[in-house]
Amino acid sequence: MIMLLEPPRYLNQSLHRSKNLIYSAFVQLLRKSALWLKETQSGLFPVIEDHRTRVTSGTLHIKNAMISDGGKYQCIITNGIGDKRTDTVLIVTAPLKVTVIPEHQTLNIGETAVLNCSVSGHPVHTVTWRKDQRHLAANSRVQLLSRDVLHITSVRREDKGMYQCFAYNDADGAQGTAEIKIGGHVTSYLNITDARVEDSGVYRCDISNDVGAVWHAARLNVYGPPFIRPFPNISAVSGQELVLNCPVGGYPIKSITWQKGGIILPLDHRHKISSTGYLTIQDVQKAADEGEYTCIAKNPDGLTASGSTYVSVVVAPVIDAQYFPDTITANEGERAKIICSATTGDPPIRFKWLKNGFPFVSTGRVSINLLDDSSVLQFRKVQATDRGQYTCVATNAATSTNMTSQLVVNVPPAWTAEPVNTSAILGSSAWMNCSAEGFPTPSIIWRKARESSPGDFGYVTSSPRIRQYNNGSLVLWDVELSDKGFYLCQANNGIGAALSKVIFLNVQVPPKFEETYQSRAIKEGDNTSLKCTAHGNTPIVITWHKNKTPLPVTVKSRYSFREITDENKVTSELVIVSATREESGMYACAAVNDFGYDEATFQLVVQGVPDPPVNLTVTNITSRTVTIRWDVPFNGNSHITGSSVQYKMADDSWKGHTSQLIVSGSDSTAILRALHPVTTYHLRVIAENAIGKSRPSGIINVTTQVEAPSGPPRELTVHPTGDQSLKVTWKPPREDARHGRIQGYHVGYRVYHSSEKFQYKTVEANEDSELHSTYVTGLQPFTKYEVIVKAYNVAGAGPQTDSIIGTTLETAPPTSPILQVIGTTANSINIRWEKDSKDRSSITEYTLHYRHDDSMWQTKKLRSTTDRYTLENVKCGSRYQMYLTASNSLGTGEPSPSVTTRTKGAAPMPAPQNSFVSLNSTFVVLHLDGWQSGGCPILHFNIQYKAKYQNQWTSVPDRIPANREKTIVGQLTPDREYIVMVTAHSEAGVTQAEYKFRTLPLQYSSVRREAELPFHRNVTLLIPVVVSSLVLIIVIFTVVVCLRKHTQDRRGQQEYDSQKIAADSLLMSEVSQKSLSGKQSINGSHYSSPTRGQHQFASSKSGEQRRTDKQHEYAEPYTAYPSSRQRSDEGSFATIKRAPPRSGSMTSAYKTGFS
């Protein structure tokens, strides 16, 4: 069993050349072994240990690392259970060095340049070229044959410059430089002044550089007699070619002849003389060619000159190949000799030996023996290190010659990696190493015993699962039980006895499940069991997990386990009782023994009904359709087979009045069709799977949109009202055909049987009446008209009625004139009108119809001879409606369009605080003459008061006439805050105002002095007596007054509910404030208005309406309307049924009679 404290983590390693490297595999295992492999182009091979490389306890040591040590290494850690592999890459680095060859070149235009970049060091990642420090771009002339070779064809002038080759790796960089020069032809001159005959002859120019050499020869002729320059003796090598030049001068030369021993040459086919006097002797022979040679030159005048040289012929040494074979083979430990014998050659002859191109000297085991014409290299005991090429060099005065022989040393095989017994886990890989060295290289053959005991061995054949590497290692991938047994490794190279060894491969079996995955579905509440059987070497331990968590085994748990152990297998069963949705999941049966681990998984699905749909949403609404979507949060672990969309009208119950739409499959959208327009529906969804139906979803409400009416108006009638008008009456479409609120009607008309299109008149609908009517005017007298009507709403117009024929009268009552208002006063309205110029009918009288706000219509007969009138005795500051009709003997014409106007004047304006209230300690004086009329006379006042923070108001019983300048409110407490509310009434409306004040503190000294006054002059005593008397009267009439007020208030409430805002402007002269003089000082008083909230109305015991809020309760006999009072230092005032305050004023006036 492998116990890894931490898996090996190897990163790529970099190491400088000549440094040491240590790779360690840190493991703790019961039976452990570590194998290091190196990857080559041929595959993975075990690391061979030598004097630099060794493996100790799983650690790889490499001393003096070389570049060849770089590469990918694999460490395989194995024990009886399994193996663990990890890879690492070793990079051996060496300093980079770059040299460009040649460093200097001088080229002619059109020539070819080649630069070689020689890079040493490791690694080399990139090589780049630059010219004059700029990137060198390749083209058709400049090409990189490889990254190291730059080739320039047809050199141009612009190619000159400095060329740089850069080499890089991750840690280093280097560069080399070369220069190319472009030059013309090199010219060398030999100047001879005052040339003489002795200067004539053949001149030779030799040109050389680092690459090679060339020469050129030419004759210089100077007129003069012939002469021969002296030339030295010459040595020639036997068997080679000899060329003799006659150094003749003078000009002209008629002939040049050669003689040897007085005999003119040539003597045989080996002699050749050129026209320029060169003597060539081929295959020089010592006996025939050695001697004195004479050159004779002759000019045309017969003058001659001669010169002689002596030719010595020497013989080069020749090694006897019979005793010097190309290859000599010897077995390790035997004796061997190589004989180098010169069969010909002039003495003295010197001998020298080379091994593999280097000088070789004798050692104690190898000796060199010299004889007269031979040298013997003798090996007393041949070793493998003697293998190599041996060269014998023989030299004399003429030349040197050599021969080479290959010494082959045969070595019998010897183990370099001796095979050992191996264990492997079933399904893993097994490595059996076997390698040997020797010469020739031993061949490795693996055999396997056919039986369970060693004896009869058969060859191991390669297959996709079994492979023998070149180094002899046998690798079995995916080991099977049949691989278990004895193996024989044999190494043989034909030298000596073959090597062999028998080893045993043991195959160990980890746990294995025949079926590793199962899927099972059950219904919620059912019982089930999961069973797994593991085969392998016992003992085998089995554990169960659910979703990677160990299953609990408790008394209350729904899980129980049963286990049966047989030979080489263990069966475990998991029982689940009354499965719920939570039991769904992935169950794992894990088996482990000393050699491995296996796992079988079970996908258990507990199926139930779906959860109720959620997120029920309306995505589209029309008048007849509704589109909805929903989500099913949990499908019960079973595919949704369909959904039921149930819907009903809002007023219906779900029992008996429910419509249903079935949606198939897992669709989560539906379109409900054939609905009624402008109808509210309740919707819910039920999901269904193979197990059953879910509970209904939550209910949503949806209202369909408006649709154009689907039915025409009803009971259409047409009646003539004159020679140019018809009265059309009809009723709305049926209720079920309206599809929303009817906004109006299009009344169409045209001359009967005409081709003209209908002309339409639009009439707004009157919801208060079932019968609708309108007048069609501007028609032709005594003509038939075709009339239709169609209703419309916000969605459009509906179908039209059947047409009805109506005929206008031959004559008709007069047309009513257009009425205009030309001016108003507080009590009168001036109007005028103008008769229609197209109406020729006579008019006998006019009738003016008018009314005040929503009161009953009144009429006034007017003469037909006038065109204007002043309506007298109208209410001040009030709105009036009026229209005019004209009559003659045929009747009354259609009414003129109604006009609306307003008389001048507005509601009363309150008095300011500082001039309205005069303070005392037990009473206050209210100056009513400080109120402004607003243009309409004030009719009367009502006054209420109460102490601050009290709920109950106290009312002054009687109405106070408007002509009273002041009034007194008594029976007050000294030094206490009060609120008094004053209500002013006029024809234009009612205005309320609140005033806050504090009574003066009581002065005791003054009280005593006033008590000494006569009773009728002592106001402090007189007022309480009077007030007390009035209290008795008030108590008697309180019930009657309250009941009457309650009745009036109810009528007033109905009246005020119909009031509208009066917007008449006030006369500035009537609104000017009156200054009051001689009033009592109000030092120390505070008049801030308390903040009021929204009120609710309640009934008091006395029958009065009261309004209450969270802080206060007020008794207000004159109004039952909530009023938002404004706060001011000058008091607070309000008008019943207020409108927003106007700029610059704190009063809001309302006129009765408006709605």
pLDDT digits (tens, 9 = 90+) for 795-831: 999 999 999 999 988 777 787 888 999 999 989 999 9
Per-residue pLDDT band for 20 (boundaries 50, 70, 90) equals: low
Residue type, 672: L
Q: Is residue 546 part of a domain?
A: yes
Outline where 46-153 has alpha helix (H): none
Same domain, 284 and 271: yes
The pLDDT of residue 1080 is 33
What is the distance between the alpha carbons of residues 468 and 459, in angstroms, rounded to a whole number? 12
Beta bridge partner(s), residue 248: 228
Same domain, 560 and 454: no
The pLDDT of residue 1081 is 31
Q: Which of 49-53, 138-142, 461-465, 1127-1131 has the lowest mean pLDDT?
A: 1127-1131
Residue 281 CA: distances (Å) to CA of 11, 257, 265, 399 = 76, 15, 11, 19
The whole-number average pLDDT for the span 1002-1008 is 53
Domains of the chain: total = 9
The whole-number average pLDDT for the span 768-785 is 90
Q: Which of 123-132, 979-988, 996-1005 has the lowest mean pLDDT?
A: 996-1005
What is the distance between the alpha carbons of residues 258 and 279, in angstroms, rounded to a whole number? 8
Residue type, 1026: V
Residue type, 105: Q
The whole-number average pLDDT for the span 981-1004 is 89
The whole-number average pLDDT for the span 170-174 is 86
Between β-strands 234-237 and 304-314, what pairing exists: parallel, antiparallel or unpaired? parallel
Long-range interactions of 212-220: CB distance < 8 A, separation 24+: 219/276, 220/192, 220/195
DSSP string, 648-714: EETTS-TTT--EEEEEETT--EEEE-SPPTT-EEEEEEEEEESS-BPPP---EEEEPPP---SS--E
Residues 275 and 251: beta-carbon distance below 8 Å: no
What tokens were used for 781?
């007298």
According to DSSP, residue 795 is labeled T
Residues 444 and 472: beta-carbon distance below 8 Å: yes
Between β-strands 474-476 and 499-508, what pairing exists: parallel, antiparallel or unpaired? unpaired
What is the distance between the alpha carbons of residues 439 and 449, in angstroms, rounded to a whole number? 29
H/E stretch holding 313 reads strand 304-314
Same domain, 845 and 882: yes
Instruction: Check pLDDT > 90 for residue 621.
Output: yes
Strand runs labelled E in 540-657: 541-546, 549-550, 559-566, 569-576, 585-593, 596-607, 614-621, 626-631, 640-649
Same domain, 550 and 463: no
pLDDT in tens, 332-347: 889 999 999 999 888 8
Instruction: Check pLDDT > 80 for residue 1140.
Output: no
What tokens were used for 491?
């190494």
Between β-strands 271-273 and 700-703, what pairing exists: parallel, antiparallel or unpaired? unpaired
584: three-class secondary structure by DSSP: coil
Residue type, 873: N
Same domain, 209 and 294: yes
Per-residue pLDDT band for 1045 (boundaries 50, 70, 90) equals: low
The pLDDT of residue 151 is 93
Q: Is residue 970 part of a domain?
A: no
Residue with tokens 């080759």: 165
Same domain, 275 and 168: no
Per-residue pLDDT band for 600 (boundaries 50, 70, 90) equals: very high
- Kindly state the percentage of the chain with pLDDT values over 90: 46
**Nearest one of 1146, 1142, 863 to 993, comparing CA atoms:** 1146
Domain end residue (candidates: 751, 781, 805): 805
Between β-strands 400-417 and 327-331, what pairing exists: parallel, antiparallel or unpaired? parallel
516: three-class secondary structure by DSSP: coil
Domain ranges, residue 630:
614-704
What tokens were used for 388?
């190599």
**φ, ψ for residue 641 (rounded to 5)?**
-90, -15
What tokens were used for 36?
């290091």
The pLDDT of residue 1106 is 35
Q: Is residue 323 part of a domain?
A: yes
The pLDDT of residue 261 is 87
Note if the bond before 317 is cis, omega within 30 degrees: no
Domain end residue (candidates: 182, 215, 241): 182
Same domain, 207 and 310: yes
What is the distance between the alpha carbons of residues 989 and 1062, in angstroms, rounded to a whole number? 8
The pLDDT of residue 17 is 52
What is the distance between the alpha carbons of residues 71 and 58, in angstroms, rounded to a whole number? 19
CATH number, domain containing residue 886: 2.60.40.10
Domain end residue (candidates: 151, 182, 213): 182
The whole-number average pLDDT for the span 130-136 is 90
The whole-number average pLDDT for the span 753-774 is 90
Instruction: Check pLDDT > 80 for residue 317.
Output: yes
What is the distance between the alpha carbons of residues 772 and 763, in angstroms, rounded to a whole number? 9
Q: Is residue 178 part of a domain?
A: yes
Residue with tokens 């080379």: 354
Q: Is residue 1130 part of a domain?
A: no
What tokens were used for 601?
């998984």
pLDDT in tens, 1106-1136: 333 333 332 223 233 333 333 333 333 333 3
The whole-number average pLDDT for the span 417-438 is 91
Cβ contacts of 652 within 8 Å, gap of 6 or more:
658
What tokens were used for 171?
């840690």
Same domain, 292 and 204: yes
Q: What is the mean pLDDT of the chain?
A: 82
If one counts every other C-beta atom within 10 angstroms of the C-beta of residue 1096, the result is: 12
What is the distance between the alpha carbons of residues 773 and 765, in angstroms, rounded to a whole number? 10
Same domain, 588 and 664: no
The pLDDT of residue 1153 is 34
Instruction: Check pLDDT > 80 for residue 598.
Output: yes
Same domain, 680 and 600: no
The pLDDT of residue 138 is 86
What is the distance between the alpha carbons of residues 1052 and 1152, in angstroms, rounded to a whole number? 10
Per-residue pLDDT band for 588 (boundaries 50, 70, 90) equals: very high
pLDDT in tens, 503-544: 999 988 889 998 999 999 999 999 999 999 999 888 999 999
Residues 904 and 839: beta-carbon distance below 8 Å: no
Q: Is residue 998 part of a domain?
A: no
What is the distance between the alpha carbons of residues 1092 and 1122, in angstroms, rounded to a whole number? 10
Q: Is residue 216 part of a domain?
A: yes
Instruction: Check pLDDT > 80 for residue 254.
Output: yes
What is the distance between the alpha carbons of residues 846 and 867, in angstroms, rounded to a whole number? 10
Residue with tokens 């460490």: 75
The pLDDT of residue 25 is 43
Per-residue pLDDT band for 121 (boundaries 50, 70, 90) equals: confident
Residue 927 CA neighbour count, 13 Å, CB half = 20
- What is the sign of the dihedral through the CA atoms of 872, 877, 881 and 883? positive
Cβ contacts of 84 within 8 Å, gap of 6 or more:
2, 4, 7, 8, 27, 76, 77, 78
Q: Is residue 988 part of a domain?
A: no
Same domain, 462 and 551: no
Residue 328 CA neighbour count, 13 Å, CB half = 26
Residue type, 344: T
pLDDT in tens, 76-119: 887 656 677 888 888 888 889 999 999 998 888 888 999 999 99
Q: Which of 154-158, 206-210, 594-598, 1092-1096 has the lowest mean pLDDT?
A: 1092-1096
DSSP string, 821-848: EEEE-SS-EEEEEE--TT--S---EEEE
Report which of residues 1123 and 940 the model is more confident about.
Answer: 940
Residue 505 CA: distances (Å) to CA of 19, 416, 976 = 39, 20, 119
Per-residue pLDDT band for 1004 (boundaries 50, 70, 90) equals: low
pLDDT in tens, 174-229: 999 999 988 766 677 788 887 888 888 888 898 876 557 888 888 888 899 999 99
**CB-count exposure of residue 28 (10 Å: 0-12, 13-18, 19+):** exposed
Instruction: Check pLDDT > 80 for residue 230.
Output: yes
Residue 65 CA neighbour count, 13 Å, CB half = 23
Instruction: Check pLDDT > 70 for residue 288.
Output: yes
**Nearest one of 101, 134, 128, 137 to 117, comparing CA atoms:** 101
The pLDDT of residue 1147 is 36
Cβ contacts of 554 within 8 Å, gap of 6 or more:
none
Instruction: Check pLDDT > 50 for residue 136.
Output: yes
Per-residue pLDDT band for 627 (boundaries 50, 70, 90) equals: very high
Same domain, 520 and 603: yes
What is the distance between the alpha carbons of residues 964 and 644, in angstroms, rounded to a whole number? 81
Beta bridge partner(s), residue 208: 213
If one counts every other C-beta atom within 10 angstroms of the C-beta of residue 361, the result is: 8
pLDDT in tens, 665-679: 888 999 999 999 999
Distance of CA 422 to the CA centre of its chain: 55
**CB-count exposure of residue 849 (10 Å: 0-12, 13-18, 19+):** middle
Sheet-wide strand order for 1105-1108: 1096-1099, 1105-1108, 1113-1115
